[in-house]
């Protein structure tokens, strides 16, 4: 943990958060911390007695609790909504990682690329011919922005992002390290002897306010565009195949994979390691629990689980029974024996 | 979507594809498009009435259909095989991404590396001592070619590929961004206190005409070589562990993982997120449906599915029944009740 | 396979390994090889007759066997423990990949970064302000070491590693290519219209003697630190989410994913593609078989398997029965028919 100077006292932080200090007012505090962290300058929050007890057992500086929480030996800050107050503290503590101003002398920028003067281009970035980088965009070191790509105003490419040719990124989107956008879609035809490549001549279009996690891949379309809608958030190590369309304001957790030409509606939520078949439609407001597999269309909003994914209560029931299969087998054996007895007794 | 000049008219494209224009002959057309794309300059194809209706409902420029397809208000191009004609259009529209000619002045090439004069080495590429790069090979920016590596003639390393020491890539193979070839295999021995590393002194050999998707990893062998056979196509985010041997002309879809020392035969096809145990043998012409898990040898050609993978019709039946477990449980309960009645009635 | 000069004869290698040569003493040998490799200069080992027969059928130079193994037409080296002797040969053959000495002139090192004079910093590495690199550490080309990061003595960052701001790496840890440490944790709050980002202000702390495989991602904590304990070994393409704590001396195989705030005890072993829910606790000495899913706490040491993960013998039994569901269904049908007959016969 880095050494930092205290930024608050119990009293000053309580005031900023609109709450009441309950403890030594001059307790020095420096930063938000997680429940259970041993951080004497840290501030965590507790929404209930269990988390309060956990925080009390650690070497934490102070705990944000609700007005009606019990007394504690630890310094408290009492507020009406501890979670919101903690979120406020997170925002106050957030110092976004920023690329250095201007274009680093080692950046290789094609003569006909158009980089807005307010954009920042880091060391050893490469921006190819015909690319456009909007106002205030940040391109960190080692990013590769291919020919005819477009990076929207305010967008951020963290170190080591690769955009193949003709990829567009919407305004204020954040693309994390190791992301590859626009590699060839995976399409081959078997000619009886070898796999013949189907040319992948399409593109990738990422909407505005999208976030894409580290080492995720989004392939270019065979023709047309693979698209991720405005405001959608994608976690690490996700695979989005060619010609997929993901709607706006969705959430796709880590290691999920969406197969070719599948369409995902608006506000869809996928847990970790969800998979889909190709060419399926997933409607708006569908929630897929972690590790679910979607093999056919899902039209109705609601929560789904399992392989194949089905309504979550139904799936949970089937999974519960599946864990009891040995018992079921025993019950069938008992029945068979009894039947035999009954039959012989006829 | 980028602005492009029309390249065809309905009549000129029909002629090139050996078909008949059915609609305004001077309709301007620019590029292939996907079914459902709103692209007035786009051309898609429809193999049946359902896709034809989908294309008609979009703002598409023209549709390639078979000679006997029904009439449409949209401009049509009638051919004998719409899919093949569309493939032809894709090939005509394909402008491969190419590295700049020659060696970029910022490339760091070891004095004793041998780079063919016709190869292209991009900005900020690093080629270490003893490496060889063949005729016409393309090394994009930020690639790392380790000591004693060999990159075959015509092979392409897209931006940000890493080859550890002593990796060889066959002719005309294409390695996409973020791929890591030759990192240490995952081998440790527990000595009762810590995990002791087993040195990984082997290598990786990739055959000719192989394609490897973005962010895939292939580990070096403990001793000998991890090998991928000629013509095999591997998708994104796949893991191939140390000492694995993958045969020729296979297909491995995204997020699949092949564990150490497993052998995969010729022309094997794996759907997405397939997993295998270590040290298993998968014979020639085996097809593994998406998300299957292979725990033991599979010798017979054919299609397999499930965990553990078994013949696909058998697996589908079991999965279907598994989704009906609550019903099965109810039937067992009914039987138990009836037996009880029968027994008490004896 | 590269061309190498023979380094041993059968006699000299037998002497080094403390064993007996059984075959032509001047047989030239160069390197360890895998069972089945056709490598006339290679040496493999065989612990039993099956592997001995496999090695005999290949074009291998010599085979390490136990003193009581049967005779062979191949040159043998007889030792008391063939596996240990082979491990000794691996260690003798290991020439670790090393970064070039000193700081490469193209490395961009911030003025206030502290790089130990004995560390090595490769071509096109970027080390940002406030970072510290310890004695003997090796930073390969294209690594990005963010602001205020700390790289311990003897640690190795292979080409293309990204450390976001304020990440610390313990002594002698090895971080493979494409690894991203410290990207934002995946946290959003739905405000009824959009996903609002929860700032991720924490950090990542990697202990000493840790190894992290290619393209793995470890996210920064929301507050506090995501932590990987001393001596733990992580394979390729693994996802470790924000605020996860992994204990010491564990093993996590490829493509596993650990969700947010989950705690993993000491010496835990995970097979490939294991997944966990968020906020669960996994106790010390738990072993999770490949592809298991952990949905709730596991306190007892031991081996677990399945979805949801349960004790392995129980899970194997249930999986075995699940593959026989069609047979079970048939038995239920038979029972129903017999009951019907019995009932009608009453």
Nearest Cα to C185, choosing from C204, C169, C167?
C204
Residue C144 C-beta-side C-alpha neighbours within 13 Å: 28
pLDDT at site B1: 42
Task: Report the candidate in B178, B331, C261 with the shortest Cα–Cα distance to residue A178.
Answer: B178
Chains that touch A (3 or more CB pairs under 8 A): B, C
Q: In angstroms, what separates the C-alpha of C154 from chain B's closest C-alpha?
A: 16
Q: Which residues of A touch B161 (CB under 8 A)?
A: none
Give the nearest partner residue to B2 out of A148, A180, A307, using CB atoms: A148
Q: How many CB atoms lie within 10 A of CB B195?
A: 20
What confidence score (pLDDT) does residue A2 get?
47
Q: Beta strand pairing status for A239-240 and A217-219?
A: parallel
Q: What is the pTM of this model?
A: 0.95
Taking only the tens place, the pLDDT of each residue in B71-126 is 999 999 999 999 999 999 999 999 888 888 899 999 999 999 999 999 999 999 99
C207 phi and psi angles, rounded to 5 deg:
-70, -175
Q: Of A111, A117, A146, A116, whose CA–CA distance to A131 is shortest?
A: A146
- Residue B321 scores a pLDDT above 50: yes
Q: Kindly name the residue from B104, B242, B249, B279 that is annotated as catalytic.
A: B242
Say yes or no for a CB contact (<8 Å) between C326 and B342: no
Percent of chain B residues topping a pLDDT of 70: 98
**pLDDT of amino acid A325:** 86
- Nearest chain C residue to A232 by CA: give it: C195
pLDDT at B325 > cutoff 90 = no
Q: Mark residue C47 as left, alpha or beta (left: phi above 0; alpha: psi -120 to 50; beta: remaining).
A: alpha
Of A189, A202, A342, the CB nearest to B342: A342
Q: What is the pLDDT of residue B5?
A: 65
Confidence band (pLDDT; 50, 70, 90) for C5?
Answer: low
CA distance C186 to chain A (A): 6
The nearest CA of chain B is from the CA of A240 a distance in Å of 9
Q: Any chain C CB within 8 A of the CB of A323?
A: yes
Q: Measure CB to CB from residue C183 to each of A1, A213, A339 and give the nearest one.
A: A213
pLDDT of residue B328: 87
**Mean pLDDT value across residues B139-146:** 98
- Residue A159 with chain C: CB contacts under 8 Å: 126, 144, 162
According to the model, what pLDDT value does residue B79 have? Answer: 96
Residue with tokens 């989107």: A173
Positions of chain A with pLDDT lower than 70, given as ranges = 1-5, 346
Model confidence over B160-197: pLDDT tens digits?
A: 999 999 999 999 999 999 999 999 999 999 999 999 99
Q: Which chains touch B (3 or more CB pairs under 8 A)?
A: A, C
Q: Provide the annotated active-site residues of C.
A: 242
Q: Is the ipTM of this complex over 0.90?
A: yes
pLDDT at position C273 is 98
CA distance A305 to A18: 42
User: What's chain B's average pLDDT?
Assistant: 94
Predicted confidence at residue C4, as pLDDT, reads 60
DSSP 8-state code for residue A199: P
Confidence at residue A346, expressed as pLDDT on a 0 to 100 scale: 57
Q: How many CB atoms lie within 10 A of CB B57?
A: 12
- Is-contact A168 A185, C-beta < 8 A? no
Helix (H, G, I), strand (E, B) or coil at C56: helix
Backbone angle region of C51, left / alpha / beta, with phi > 0 → left and psi within -120 to 50 → alpha: alpha
Out of A194, A237, A335, name the one closest to residue B249 (CB): A194
Q: Report the pLDDT value the prediction gives residue C2, as an integer from 0 to 100.
A: 46
pLDDT band at B269 (very low <50, low <70, confident <90, very high): very high
Q: What is the mean pLDDT of residues B55-69?
A: 95
Which DSSP letter does residue A184 get?
P
Per-residue pLDDT tens digits for C245-286: 999 999 999 999 999 999 999 999 999 999 999 999 999 999
**Alpha carbon distance C121, C140 (integer Å):** 6
Q: Which of residues 292-311 of A touch B (CB under 8 A)?
A: 293, 306-308, 310
* Residue A224: CA count within 13 A, CB half-sphere: 24
């Amino acid at each position: 943990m880095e050494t930092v100077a205290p930024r608050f006292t119990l009293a000053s932080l309580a005031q900023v958060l609109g709450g009441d200090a309950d403890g030594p007012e001059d307790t020095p505090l420096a930063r938000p911390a997680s429940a259970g962290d041993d951080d004497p300058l840290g501030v965590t929050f507790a929404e209930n007695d269990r988390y309060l007890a956990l925080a009390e057992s650690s070497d934490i500086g102070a705990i944000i609790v609700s007005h009606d929480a019990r007394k504690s030996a630890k310094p408290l800050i009492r507020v009406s909504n501890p979670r919101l107050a903690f979120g406020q503290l997170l925002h106050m503590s957030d110092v976004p990682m920023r690329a250095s101003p201007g274009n680093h002398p080692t950046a290789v920028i094609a003569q006909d690329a158009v980089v807005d003067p307010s954009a920042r281009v880091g060391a050893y970035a490469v921006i190819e011919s015909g690319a456009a980088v909007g106002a205030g965009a940040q391109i960190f070191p080692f990013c590769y922005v291919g020919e005819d790509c477009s990076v929207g105003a305010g967008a951020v490419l963290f170190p080591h992002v690769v955009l193949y040719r003709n990829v567009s990124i919407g305004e204020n989107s954040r693309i994390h390290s190791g992301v590859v956008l626009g590699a060839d879609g995976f399409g081959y035809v078997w000619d009886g002897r070898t796999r013949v490549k189907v040319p992948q001549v399409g593109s990738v279009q990422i909407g505005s306010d999208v976030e894409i996690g580290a080492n995720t891949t989004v392939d270019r379309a065979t023709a047309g565009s693979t698209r991720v809608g405005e405001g959608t958030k994608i976690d690490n190590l996700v695979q989005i195949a060619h010609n997929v369309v993901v709607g706006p304001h969705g959430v796709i957790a880590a290691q999920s994979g969406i197969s070719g030409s599948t369409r995902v509606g608006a506000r869809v939520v996928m847990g970790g390691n969800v998979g889909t078949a190709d060419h399926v439609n997933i409607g708006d407001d569908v929630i897929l629990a972690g590790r679910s597999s979607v093999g056919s269309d899902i039209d109705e909003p609601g929560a789904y689980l399992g392989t194949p994914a089905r309504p979550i209560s139904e799936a949970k029931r089937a999974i519960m029974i599946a864990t009891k299969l040995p018992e079921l087998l025993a019950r069938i054996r008992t029945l068979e024996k009894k039947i035999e007895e009954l039959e012989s007794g006829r």
